[in-house]
Amino acid sequence: MPAKILVCDDERHIVRLIQVNLEKQGYNIVTAYDGKEGLEKIKAEKPDLVVLDVMMPYMDGFEVLKNLRREPSTEMLPVIMLTAKAQDKDVFEGYSYGADMYLTKPFNPVELVSFVKRILSGASGGDGPKRYDL
């Protein structure tokens, strides 16, 4: 069964770009367009990994990440932050909240696919994708 990835970004063209590139690699993609919808989809869909923007309506990506890390059922869910917030303090903030990777926009889709593969294979130091019950 292919890994399920949630892509959460308020820019629809970015979501589509990521979706197309990851689907070409055989991944099952679920999409969300704001932080609140992203949390709801994580609970409903139980993805193996989340690609998460920071600047979004209703709830920013840092708040989504903090919510995920507070819940035992999602505390180990891999998260790649993908954002235009590229200052050192933003990158540090993302990692301090528990991001597994932090990529800045504009980004290379091939690089994102490489990070996804690395995280899901466990090469990032983890032990592969996590399944969890909500």
pLDDT at 124: 44
7/1 Cα distance (integer angstroms) = 18
DSSP helix/strand/coil, 65: helix
Among 103, 109, 130, 97, which Cα is nearest to 15's? 109
pLDDT at 90: 76
Specify the residue for token string 């990851």.
22
pLDDT at 131: 34
Over the chain (134 residues), the average pLDDT of each successive run of 10 is 94 96 97 96 96 93 94 94 80 85 89 93 52 33
Domains of the chain: 4-121 (3.40.50.2300)
Cβ atoms of residues 98 and 78 within 8 Å: no
pLDDT at 93: 83
pLDDT at 126: 43
pLDDT at 46: 96
Strand partners, 79: 50
Specify the residue for token string 């990032």.
124
What distance lies between CA 89 and its chain's CA centroid?
A: 19
Q: For residues 69-81, b (16+ Cβ closer than 10 Å) or e, as one string? A: beeeebeebbbbb
pLDDT at 134: 31
Specify the residue for token string 């597994």.
100
48/129 Cα distance (integer angstroms) = 6
Cβ atoms of residues 113 and 79 within 8 Å: no
With 0-12 CB in 10 A as exposed, 13-18 as middle and 19+ as buried, what is 36?
middle
